[in-house]
Amino acid sequence: MTTDSPVLTHVQTGVAWITLNRGPQRNALDIPTLKHLHTLLDGFDADPAVRVVVLTANGRSFCAGADLAEWAEAQARGALETYGWTETAHALMTRLHTLDKPTIAAINGTAVGAGMDLTLCCDLRIAAQSARFKAGYTRMAYSPDAGASWHLPRLIGSEQAKRLLFLDELWSAERALAAGLVGEVVADEQLQAHTAELAARLAAGPTFAFARTKALIRDGAARSLPEQLHAELAAGLLCGRSADGAEALRASVEKRLPIFSGQ
């Protein structure tokens, strides 16, 4: 893939890096980019050589959200409600949220609207010191349309979610950390190296067990405790039968660190 492609990718030591690369558009998400990201995620989730996915961006913006030029063009031809951005974005957000493999958002700049929502779909969020967060919806007299109304109350509580959505405040990385919107803040120049170190730790881990853990956390909110315990039992049986489960037991008996294959 050439360096002028809207999305760049590379895989190294089990880590797939996806880099938004539409700098002049502040990495805004048009329909072709949404579809391309979806295809990439499908491929990486099915590839046993990939054990972690990192989402980041080039330029000063992480992602400006929906591509307003595409939005305006659709409105001009009377197709705003039918041109398909929302449905395509929803499919991508669902795919990212349900990915079996651990995902990390390395947020290098301003994340607005659907750009912020992309980060919310990831398992872990690391923000550069200069990162900023803004919902952006009510500024356009619009309501959330890419998952913010679902993720934000669960991550930061209902009142903080309403503050971010209603008042359309621009949150610094430190404020996002204090609210629970991100898990870490690092110096700008350390973002890539810090993310790579964390991704490497996850890539060396038990990928199959991570997938079962993600599913338990994702689905647990809709279950009673007895239902969740039943689900944990079923997941634990699968993990115990996995290659990594057998390796973990051998390593424990042999008093050494396990070497996980991800299977």
Return the H-helix or E-strand segment holding 56: strand 52-57
Per-residue pLDDT at 2: 55
pLDDT score of 44: 97
For residues 25 and 65, what is the distance between their CA atoms, to the nearest angstrom?
A: 10
Measured distance CA(89)–CA(74) in Å, rounded? 16
Report the SS3 class of residue 188: helix
Give me the tens of pLDDT residue by residue for the chain, a chain 263 residues long.
456 789 999 999 999 999 999 988 889 999 999 999 999 999 999 999 999 999 999 998 999 988 877 776 777 777 677 678 889 999 999 999 999 999 999 999 999 999 999 999 999 999 999 999 999 887 777 788 888 999 999 999 999 999 999 999 999 999 999 999 999 999 999 999 999 999 999 999 999 999 999 999 999 989 999 999 999 999 999 998 999 888 888 988 988 888 888 88
Residue in the structure block whose two tokens are 């750009």:
115
Residue 66: the pLDDT is: 84
**pLDDT in the model for residue 79:** 63
Whether 12 and 54 have beta carbons less than 8 Å apart is answered as no
Task: Name residues whose C-beta falls within 8 Å of residue 68's C-beta, 6 or more positions apart in sequence.
Answer: 28
Cα→Cα distances 190→19, 55, 184, 197, 204, Å: 17, 16, 12, 11, 21
Task: Judge if pTM exceeds 0.75.
Answer: yes
The amino acid that residue 215 corresponds to is A
pLDDT of residue 3: 67
What pLDDT, on the 0 to 100 scale, is given for residue 9? 96
Q: How many Å apart are CA 18 and CA 58, to the nearest integer? A: 10
Question: For 69, phi and psi rounded to 5 degrees?
Answer: -65, -40
DSSP assignment of 123-146 equals SEEEEETT-EEE--TGGGT----S
